[in-house]
Every structure is written in structure tokens, then in C-alpha cells.
Structure 1
Amino acid sequence: MSTSPASGTPARNALWPVLLITALFFFWGMANNLNDILIPQFKKAFILTDLQSGLVQSAFYMGYFILALPAAFLMRKLGYKAAVIVGLVLYALGAFLFWPAAENHQYTSFLGALFVIASGLAFLETSANPLITVLGSPDKAAFRLNLAQAFNPLGSLAGIWIGQSFILSGIEHDETALAAMTEGARQAFYISEVKAVQTPYLIIGVVVLAWAALVLFSKFPDAATKNAEEDTGEQVGFFASIGRLFSKPRFLMGVVAQFFYVGAQVGIWSYMIRYGQKEIGLVDKDAATYLYYALAAFAAGRFFGTALMSKLSPNLILGVFAVINIGLMIAAVVLGGETGMWALVASSFFMSIMFPTIFATSIAGLGNLTKTGSSLLVMSIIGGAVLTAIMGFVSDQSDIRTSFAVVAACFGVIALYAFTAPKGVKVDSLPASSH
């Protein structure tokens, strides 16, 4: 009978905690991709520019950036389980804040709510991956982590489905039609579009809060609740470890590459509906279908890319995929129309291995700096905030097609990171990733 190394508890007794933590991968996948629905919804309901609507992602990923290090600090001091509970409570609180934001018809209130949700996700993503590996026997850790990760794209698809089915109305009025309405009818339209988010997010908040209670009152193995400081090698303080990481140029370049990767991924998915509206003439509800195709391509690319890595260097694959995506972004900018839309969908296939590959190659050889290095890589997710806003600005100054030139530049940085990798650095395995 296999046992948990930390507590001697039979591994099968960790089944319930494994189920509870596996669900977290579903929850944050859902939250991330619901943002891609909120952008066109808020643009319509609040009459926003592309830059203003892109602030949905800016507020969201700012939460990751600001809370990543506090999450790592809490995890080191109080253990994984405490970090999970804090993350779930913040997630639920942010979802509940959607109700008063809709009642008050305040876009800035929604941005605040999204910041709170993302703050919770920073705790969840920092703790869930390592936690799932200690819930049971060590020889099954990789299996548990891969199984948990399988629920992340399911959450992403659920987020798109919830948004398409219960938030997007498919009703769109051009400026002429809006001007022809009475003031009362126009305001009623805006209010109905804003309030469409209330019930879905209320239900999400209730479910997530209930999940926090289940985690709180469930018995976990000792490894989930003990101090999570490094147990081997030279002990390095939290802030001292940050200082040491700044003397690792390859790691720092990895942080930069991750910043631009997340910006590219978030930018493509955030403006895909907008691209379909402008380039093909689809309504928001129909354009959202292309997000399903993109996520399916993303999942397929994960399997294909992982299989390739058994034969080829991860950095070589990363570099080639980045170059291919530069070409696809150029096609989206130059060709436009349905061809450009399919180029955006195809890019998800080649993005699929980028986050975990950059992550794994960046932390290779960090030793007892690995946990702190991982939290800095999570902070690089702020690329989704900065570059999505830049895309919105470019779109407002020109058009949505031209904004994807920003993404082409992002893939250029990733290609540079990949092709300048030092020879002989081995990466045994890629970490699971939600991005």
C-alpha cells in the first residue's frame, strides 16, 4: 500500500483532497476565458473604445502581478492549503462584486471586481500546482498533475459557453440605430446588457465560496498544511532569494519572454471577437464560436508539442513555433477577413507549448531559488495587462487588424529567447500550466 511520505496516510485517503484541488484548475480556466466575453460585452454596454475595453485584462492581470509575491510568501509561511482558501475567498468576493457594479452601472467597479478575482487566482495558481504533487504517493505525482491540468481547458471552454449562452445577447445596434432610439429605450438597452453578467457571476461566486468551505473543513495530508519553506540545500530568505535571481541573466530573459508571451496570448483571445465583428461582420455571439476553435487548437497543440519534445530540443520547438506565429500575425494584419480570422485561430496551436516551455527553461538550475523564481514568472503575467492595452490603443488609432502587429513583435521576443538559449541545458520535464 502506497503512503503519503509526509504523513503516512494511505494514498487513497488523499483522493478527496485531490478532487478538491483538481477543481481549482477548472475554476481559474473559466475565469480567464470569461474575460474574452466581457471585453465585447462591456464595449457595447458602456460605449467604450478598444483601449478602454481592453482594461478588463489590464485590471485582471494587475491582480496577478501585485499578489503573486504575497501569495508565495503566505504559501511558504502557512502552507499550501491556507493559500488555496485565501485564493478561493478572494475569487468569490470578486464575483459577488459584479452584482453591485451592474446595479450602479459603473465600469470602474467591474474593473475593481476583476482585480479581486485575479488576486484570488494568483494564490490559487501559485499553490495548486505544487500542492497536487504532494497529495499522495510521489511516484504518481506527475500523473496527478497532468490529470488536474486536463480540467483547465474544460474550464476555459465552460467560460466561453457561459459567456456565449448567458451574457452575450447577439443584439447589436450601430450608431444610427442608437441615435434613432428614445433616450429611455437606449438606456434600457445599455442596462440590460450590463445586468446580463449579474446572475452568472453570482452563481460562480456561490460555487467558489462553497468550495472554499469544503477545502477548509476537509482533512488534508500534513504536507499541505506545513510550512512550505525549502527543505534542502542552503536556506535562502525570501527577499534574499529575489536579489540572487537578479544575478541570473537567463532567468531574467525568461521572465521577459514570459511577459511578452502572456501579452500575445491574452491579446489574441481578447480581441478575437472584435476581429470577427470588424473583419467578417459577425455579431458578438457568433464571433465567440471562433474562441472554441482556438481553444481546441490550443489543446491539440499541447499534445503535439509535448510529443515532439521527446525527440527535439524544447528551445528549438519554441523558436520554430514563435516564427510560425509571427507569420500568422502578419497574415492577420495584411490579409484580414476570414483568412485573417483563421490565422488567429491557428496561432493558438503554436502558442500551446510556449508558457510551460519558457517556464521550465527559465527555472532550470535555480535550485533552492526555484519557488521564488516561479513566483516572479507568475508576476510576468502582467504582460496580459500591458500589451492588451497597447493593442487597444493601436486599434483606436488605426484598426483592429493593425493592432495584431503588436502580437507579432511579442513572438519576435520569444523567438529571440529560444534561439539564444545556451547549449547543453537539459529540461527533464515541462511543468503543467494554465496558460
Structure 2
Amino acid sequence: MSVNLAHEDTLNSASTNKNNRFALVSLTSLFFMWGFITCLNDILIPYLKGAFDLTYTQAMLVQFCFFGAYFIVSLPAGNLVGKIGFKKGIVVGLSIASVGCLLFYPASLLEKYSLFLLALFVLASGITILQVSANPYVSALGPSKTASSRLTMTQAFNALGTTVAPFFGAWLIFNGAEHAIADPSAVQTPYIFLALSLLILAIIFAYLKLPNLGQKEHVQQSTQKSWHFSHLKLGALGIFLYVGAEVAIGSFLINFLAEPNIAAMAESQAANYIAYYWGGAMVGRFIGAIVMQRIAAGKVLAFNGACSIILILLAVVLDGSVAMWSILAVGLFNSIMFPTIFSLAINDLGDAASHGAGVLCLAIVGGAIIPLVQGILADLVGVQLSFILPVFCYVYIAYYGLIGSKPMMTLKEGS
């Protein structure tokens, strides 16, 4: 009798592992798509600036509308996913993102910049729901000990999307031209293609047989409970600072490489080197996924944070090729930070995981705020010295990896 039960348990375990592997493979497509779409903004900003003759401040509304959606939508998204579960949340997110892409068509016909911003907000809202659904879903598909490794591996495909997107966008939107042609209709083809791709993915995920996780009966209770976890609140600050630092460095790379004492590159030439920054993040995530199978995720996070601090300080105090390659190499150590902070922050949240994910996605608004602060700093002390701001961000990230990420509930939670 006991032998039969043991055999049945083994079969059930094997079946569960097989289902989990299939779910993880399916989810990698989502990580690629939202990385791809997010990085297209780097192409869209100069394009819309030329098409509508915008100031730099007006053009940066692209990033503010995109990252602003995370701030506005994340908590409602967490509550929604708590009601319908991770799988249905993915379908809803894909559907809304598809609608956002379709809105680029009327925006281009009417040639209204405000409609482009609305389309970006809707698109980012869908991606926010995807993030709230897919990130904790990946963490839940297996042992919590290896959650950071799984999330880092899927995030590697997110980085692949950010590496490929600029080439795709430049080819379709700019049509190979060196400068943007002032014709808003050029965005129609790529974004209709993206809309159809997202819609097809939504239909596929609606019919895929995936583990039904993330749905809970008492949403309000778990929502309140999530705020009592100190490692979640500290992790939210870590996400805010990490995304802010990553976006700020990427935003200033071209200006930094154009500095006479760094590389004195023309902007068109310097733009090609951004691939090293994002490509390094992709390579680092594949490496990190393997490393964190053997080494605790918090220690790896602290190590990468320390390396980033050293590299940025070298870029600030030195000149020439050493400074150039030091700042580009930060991308390699950025690689594991977002998925690692995310998985550590929602570790041991139980039924509050989906709301916790919403809190963390809320913190992605750092991508709009930190670059703005560095821009003010650059006006005051210059581009090179302004990189001292990301140093402080990485100091906190290293602290979180070593100390702040340890699961703990505040006394307020009580029994």
C-alpha cells in the first residue's frame, strides 16, 4: 500500500514539474514582448520629437506617461489579479496592451501628440498588469529557494527584447534614414504588428493549460497584510532606485560618450554603443540564473551592487576608454537586479503576493523620477559628475541584498 502511494506521489510530482516547465517556457514570450515594447520608447522619443517639433521636455512626456502608468495602475492591477488569478491577469494585460498599440493608428491619422501619449499610457497599463501577473507567477512555479534564479532566467528574455527592439524600431520607423522624417504615419506598421502579436498571445494564453495560481478569496485582507512585511517595503524602494538608476544611465550614455574627455563621439556613433549596455544585461541574466542555483540571491545582489558602484566611480573620476567601458559594463551587473529584488521582496508573502507585486510595480515610477533628478544635476555640475547619483542608488541595493531582503513582518501585524 505504501509503495503504491509513494509511486503515485512520484508521478504527481513529475506531472507538476512538467506543467511548471511548460508554464515557464510559455511565460518567457511575455518577458520578451514587454522588454521589446518598453525599449521601443528610445526610438519613439526622437521620432516624435522630430515629427511634432517638440522641445526635449515635451518629448520626455513619453517616458512620464509610460512609467506614470505603473504608478497609477499597479495597485489596482494587484487587486484585480488577486481576484482572477495570474493566468487570467496575463490575458487581460495582453488584451489591454494590444488596444494601446492599436491606438497608435488613429493618433497617427489625426496627428495628435496627446493621442500618442494616451496610447502609450494604455499600452503601459497593459504591461503593468502583465508584470503584476507574470513576475509572481514565475516565482510561484517551484521552490522559493530558486525563485530568483527562475525569474532571472525569464528576465533574460526581457533583456533580449530590449537589445533587439532598437534595431527593429530604427528599421521600420526611420526606414534606414539617419534622422526622423516628420510623418507620424510611420508608426502605423510596427504598432499594428505589435497589436496583432499581443492579441494572438492573449488568445493562446486563454487556452493554455497552466497551473491556476494567484487567485484568493479575501483580497482586502491580503492587501492590508502585504504592507506589514518590511522586506516588501524595502524592496519597493530598491526597485524604485534600481529602475531609476538603470534608465538614468541609459538616458545619458550618448551624452557621456560625446564628452571630449571621454570618447568625443558623434551622437550617431555613440548610439551604437548602447547595445553593449543592454546586451550586457542580457548576458548577465543568463549567467546569474546559473550562479543563483548555488549562491544565495541576496549575496549575488550585494556583489553586483558593489561592482556597479566601483565601475561608476571609475567612470566619474577617470577619462578616455577606461571611463567609457566602465559605464557600459554596468549593464552586465544590472542584469540580475530587478528580478532578484522582485523575488526577494515577495518571498514568503503567501496570499498577499499579487498585491505585493503591485506595490513593486508601483515603484517602477523611479524610471521617470531619477533620470529627471540626474538631468538637474547634469545642468549644475556636468554630465560626468552627475553619475554620482546612481552610485547612491546602488549603495542601497547592496544593503538590501545583504540585510533588507530578509523576510520579516512588523509588530503591527500581530497574530
TM-score (norm 1): 0.75
Partner of residue 400 from structure 2, selected from 383, 394, 417 = 417
Within 5 A, what are the aligned runs for 1:153-232?
Answer: 153-168=159-174, 171-172=178-179, 191-192=182-183, 194-216=184-206, 218-221=207-210, 223-224=211-212, 228-229=215-216
Contact 2:305 2:395 in 1 (8 A): yes
Instruction: State the distance in 1 between where 2:398 and 2:193 align.
Output: 42
Query: Structure 1 residues 288, 104: CA separation in 2 closer, same or farther (over 3 Å shift)?
Result: farther
Structure 1 gap ranges (5+):
173-188, 231-236, 428-435
Q: Name 1:262's counterpart in structure 2.
A: 243
- Counterpart position of 2:115: 109
| Unaligned ranges ≥5, structure 2 | 1-7, 409-415
Query: Which range is displaced more, 269-278 or 84-93?
Result: 269-278
Displacement after TM superposition at 1:213 (Å): 3.1
1:89 corresponds, among 95, 115, 133, to 95
Instruction: Report how far residue 259 of structure 1 moved.
Output: 0.8
Cα displacement (A) at 1:377: 1.4
Aligned sequence identity (%): 34
1:209 aligned partner, one-letter code: L
Contact 2:65 2:117 in 1 (8 A): yes
Deviation at 1:208, TM superposition (A): 1.5
Residues 259 and 383 in structure 1, CA contact (< 8 A), matched pair in contact too: yes
1:366-405 mapped onto 2 (5 Å cutoff):
366-395=349-378, 399-405=382-388
Structure 1 residue 90 displacement after superposition: 1.5
- 2:340 aligns to what? 357
Q: Secondary structure at the match of 1:271?
A: helix
**Alpha carbons of structure 1 residues 45 and 62: separation in structure 2 relative to 1, 3 Å:** same
Farther-moved stretch of structure 1 (385-394 vs 398-407): 398-407
State the distance in 1 between where 2:54 and 2:319 align.
Answer: 23
In 2 relative to 1, CA 20–307 (structure 1 residues): closer, same or farther, beyond 3 Å? closer
Q: Which piece of structure 1 moves more, 25-34 or 146-155? A: 146-155
Shift of 1:388: 2.5
Aligned partner of residue 387 in structure 2, secondary structure = helix
Instruction: Report what 1:247 is aligned to.
Output: 228
| C-alpha distance 375-283 of structure 1, shift in aligned 2 (>3 A) | same
CA-to-aligned-CA distance 1:225-267 (integer Å, 9 cap, x gap): x87117xxxxxx4333343333333432221121101111122
**How far did residue 382 of structure 1 move?**
1.2
Q: In the alignment, which residue of structure 2 is the partner of 1:185? A: none
Q: Which amino acid aligns with 1:171?
A: E
Check the 8 A contact 1:84/1:124 in 2, yes or no.
yes
SS at match of 1:220: coil
Distance 2:102 2:220 in 1: 34
Q: Which amino acid aligns with 1:102?
A: S
Contact 2:152 2:285 in 1 (8 A): no
Matched-pair contact (CA < 8 Å) for 1:69–1:376: yes
Residue in 2 that maps onto 1:184: none
Match of 2:127 among 116, 121, 127: 121
Question: Distance in 1 between the 2:20 and 2:289 partners?
Answer: 28
Q: Provide, for residues 166-200 of structure 1, a one-character-per-residue CA deviation record: whole Å limited to 9, x for no partner.
A: 3345535xxxxxxxxxxxxxxxx7524x4443322
Comparing 26-35 with 79-88, which one deviates more in the overlay? 79-88
User: Is 1:35 matched with 2:26?
Assistant: no
C-alpha separation between the residues in 1 aligned to 2:338 and 2:162? 16
Using the TM superposition, name which of 319-328 and 85-94 deviates more: 319-328
Question: Aligned to 2:273, what secondary structure does the other structure show?
Answer: helix
Matches within 5 A, 1:232-311: 237-276=218-257, 280=263, 282=265, 286-309=269-292
Kindly provide the CA deviation profile for residues 23-57 of structure 1, in whole angstroms up to 9, marking residues without a partner as x.
21221110122122233434444455554433322
Cα distance 1:426–1:380, how it changes in 2: closer, same or farther (>3 A)?
A: closer
The code of the aligned residue for 1:86 comes to V
Amino acid in the other structure paired with 1:371: S
Q: 1:228 corresponds to which letter in structure 2?
A: Q
1:105 and 1:191 in contact (8 A); partners too: no
Count of aligned pairs: 396
Distance in 2, matches of 1:82 and 1:48, equals: 39
- Answer whether contact 2:102 2:191 (CA < 8 A) is retained: yes
